[in-house]
Amino acid sequence: MESLKSKYADLLEETAGICDRTEDGLERIAACIPEYVCGELDKISSKRKRDLAALDHKMNMVSYFVPLIGEIPSLQAKTLTERMVEVWNEKMPEYKIGHSTYDSIRGGFKKGIFCYITTAVCRSMDKPDDCYELNTLRAYRDGYLSETEEGRRIVEEYYNIAPTIVKRIDRQEDADNIYRGIWEEYLSRCIRLIEEDEKDKCKELYISMVRSLEKEYLYS
């Protein structure tokens, strides 16, 4: 982020000036990227490819663009980024994002990626981002795995490979069937083990899932 702030210092200064000196500057800037992304997604006819592109745009927004714009030298920085997120969610309610800041993502982005595959599976089954299954695994990640060095190492390794696995599954014609198989063989069982307080067994099963998908979609 520090590198981006340095590289785009002039742009951030100009953005701050527009927000501070013009009445409608903030609103115009807030709508710029959401309108662009919405237009790009509308060009993609395949729902599966559109969902994949939307996921990339969402990750770029919450992990880079919104936090970077939040660093403009202006008292209106937070108002601008909050409005940008509002416009995004108004234009693309099926691909909602949350507000993020430089401080909030520092050290937290990698943890969030732990549920990358689970998110893709739930999306293929029309489950929302705040569904019970995702929330259960997020709580397991934050409350159990992150407490030990081994658990943090698992999250770190998972972060490095999960996005590629998801992209390669999404390129398959039978992607939905693949995701349903992942759900039935691994994730639903992980949820049940968490509910039964069998957290170690859940970890073993999740590692087994990642190893299997790694072999199938990274090295085959």
pLDDT tens-digit readout, 28-40: 999 999 999 999 9
pLDDT category at 111 given cuts 50, 70, 90 is: very low
pLDDT category at 105 given cuts 50, 70, 90 is: low
Same domain, 71 and 154: no
% of the chain surpassing 90 pLDDT: 43
Same domain, 211 and 128: yes
Helix (H, G, I), strand (E, B) or coil at 75: coil
Does the model's pTM come out above 0.85?
no
The answer to whether 26 and 19 are in contact (CB under 8 A) is yes
Tell which of 89, 105, 121 closes a domain: 105
- Rounded to 10 deg, the angle between the 25-42 and 9-21 helix axes is 120
Same domain, 72 and 168: no
Domain span holding position 56: 2-105
Same domain, 100 and 134: no
Whether residue 78 is predicted with pLDDT greater than 50 in this model: the reply is yes
Same domain, 151 and 213: yes
pLDDT category at 109 given cuts 50, 70, 90 is: very low
* Total residue count of the chain as it appears in this document: 220
Please enumerate in sequence order all residues whose Cβ is within 8 A of that of 110, keeping only pairs 6 or more positions apart, or say none: 155, 156, 159
CA dihedral 181, 183, 184, 188 (to 10 degrees): 170
* Comparison of pLDDT for 215 and 151, the residue scoring more: 215
Write out the DSSP string of 112-171. HGGGHHHHHHHHHTT--TT-HHHHHHHHHHHHTGGGSHHHHHHHHHHHHHHHHHHHHHHT
Same domain, 118 and 87: no
Same domain, 130 and 177: yes
- Residue for token pair 């937290």: 108
Same domain, 6 and 101: yes
Tell which of 61, 90, 105 closes a domain: 105
> How many structural domains are present in the chain?
2
The helix (H) or strand (E) run that includes residue 10 is helix 9-21
Same domain, 11 and 98: yes
Same domain, 210 and 117: yes
Same domain, 76 and 168: no
